[in-house]
Amino acid sequence: MKILLTGATGYIGKRLLPLLVSKGHNVVCCVRDKNRFYIPVEFKENIQVIEVDFLKKESLLNIPESIDAAYYLIHSMSGSSDNYDELERISAENFTERINQTQAGQVIYLSGIVNDKSLSKHLSSRKQVEEILNSGTFAMTTLRAGIIVGSGSASFEIIRDLVNKLPVMITPKWLNTKCQPIAINDVLEFLTKSLLNPLTYNQNFDIGGPDILTYKEMLLAFAKAKNLRRWIFTVPVMTPKLSSYWLYFVTSTSYKLATALVSSMKVEVICKDTKINELLKVKPMSYDKALSKALMKIKEDQVASSWKDSLISGRFKNNLSEYLKVPKKDCFIDRRKKEIINREFTINRIWSIGGETGWYYGSWLWNIRGFMDKIFGGVGLRRGRTNKRNLHSGDVLDFWRILYANKEEGKLILFAEMKLPGEAWLEFKIIGNTLYQSATFRPRGILGKLYWYSVLPFHGFIFEGMLKRLIK
């Protein structure tokens, strides 16, 4: 079967794609930018990649009419715009109109549990999208989930950051709100077993694990899984704004996502029923087991996808291809080079940079820069990296976005997502027996020029030291 996969670069889409291919389907992946979509060599014969922006109706003509079914995995709640609900409405309307013109017999939508009359903006938007999709001529299947637990999921990473960093937590009262978490493996099983299954046509289903827990209980269960002693006290005086800042400064989440999550976490998300479990013969795992699996994936460095690799986790808004060619005109450039001793060693050092490894030299200065960025509303250093050994275009690397990564070529280009009065690139490339390292900055006005000259004294210390450590 030919299956359309929207959100192919997202947390769910990246994990769903190999499952669909393994079941013999040909998958048409919708992406906004082909340059940030990595396809494993073994999947290439079964995958077609098309560029589609669902806010631009004309781009949807790239969707082939011969598709048999489609997954709608598009959400905008943590984007840069405050009117994300309006953007989600437009995307859903454009999608529905185009799919009506194809041969698709089914659309599967992953939504949020909406069993409360007083819904957050985020959940109201999900419900609105569901209603729009239901107006299509195709059979509609909606799977509604609450908190998704898995390595790299936004919810899991927030829980992990809070528990790892705070032995004692003074928390807002919404931590006593109940929810029904579900493991990412179970979400994927529901998504694949619903595909072209007439038993699921024109219905919506709540999906959740067997445990109903408060957010406080979820945090304490994580602490127990890590053998950590933690104390949590809830207070009624934390406003939604204070709660959002609390999540933003302690965890790796963006402020926009923190705000949306705080708004949603005040509403209970519990399954009305679990009839789909029997219908599809799925037995969801417990929260403790889901935690154990997620922690094992992290330990083994096998995190398949992370919410942080989405463009909405930072300030990058455009296609990567627009920034691939590092500019020279009207730019300040710090160029350095060293003769390498061992090519393989140096490439492995470059490909391990950032995250837990750090930047090899002047770590305290990198940490200060990350802290300052966070203070001024940037991403800081807390995003880290998804995988300790592999780098792919589009992934995050602390406060950088990877534009290009080719290990065989020995070339890595990073684009800065920290708050800056301009734009910055960091490039590593090996030519022959020489490693070239260049930091490029395109200033924005006089403030940008002043910024460059203020940090220039540190470049000789940081970049020279890093270059030496990359070689030996």
State the burial class of residue 380 (Cβ atoms within 10 Å of its Cβ: 0-12, 13-18, 19+): buried
The CB density around residue 318, as the number of other CB atoms within 10 Å, is 10
The low-confidence residues of the chain, meaning pLDDT below 70, are 76-82, 115-122, 238, 264, 311-321
- Tell me how far apart the alpha carbons of residues 101 and 61 are, in angstroms, rounded to a whole number: 10
Residue that is written with structure tokens 């406060």 in the block: 399
User: How many degrees, rounded to 5, is the angle at CA 111 between CA 34 and CA 126?
Assistant: 95
- Tell me how far apart the alpha carbons of residues 178 and 52 are, in angstroms, rounded to a whole number: 38
**Cross-strand pairs, 332:** 441
| Per-residue pLDDT, 98 | 96
Q: Which residues contact 328 (CB under 8 A, 6 or more apart)?
A: 440
Maximum Cα–Cα distance across the chain: 67
| Per-residue pLDDT, 267 | 78
| Per-residue pLDDT, 284 | 97
Q: Which two tokens stand for residue 398?
A: 């602390």
One-letter amino acid identity for 174?
W
| Per-residue pLDDT, 78 | 47
Question: Domain residues of the chain, as ranges?
Answer: 2-309, 314-471
- Tell me how far apart the alpha carbons of residues 4 and 71 are, in angstroms, rounded to a whole number: 6
The CB density around residue 444, as the number of other CB atoms within 10 Å, is 13
The torsion angle over the Cα atoms of residues 202, 212, 256 and 442, rounded to 10 degrees, is -90
Contact by Cβ (8 Å): 28, 48: yes
Where does 2-309 sit in CATH, by number?
A: 3.40.50.720
What tens digit of pLDDT does each residue of 195-221 get? 999 999 999 999 999 999 999 999 999
- Consecutive H or E run containing 217: helix 215-225
- Tell me how far apart the alpha carbons of residues 401 and 36 are, in angstroms, rounded to a whole number: 10
Per-residue 3-state assignment (H helix, E strand, C coil) for 420-453: CCEEEEEEEEEECCEEEEEEEEEECHHHHHHHHH
User: How many degrees, rounded to 5, is the angle at CA 462 between CA 457 and CA 467?
Assistant: 130
| Per-residue pLDDT, 457 | 87
**Cross-strand pairs, 107:** 70, 140
Q: What is the DSSP string of 245-291?
A: HHHHHHSS--HHHHHHHHHHHTS-B--S--HHHHHHT--PPPHHHHH
Q: Look up the CATH superfamily of 314-471.
A: START domain (3.30.530.20)
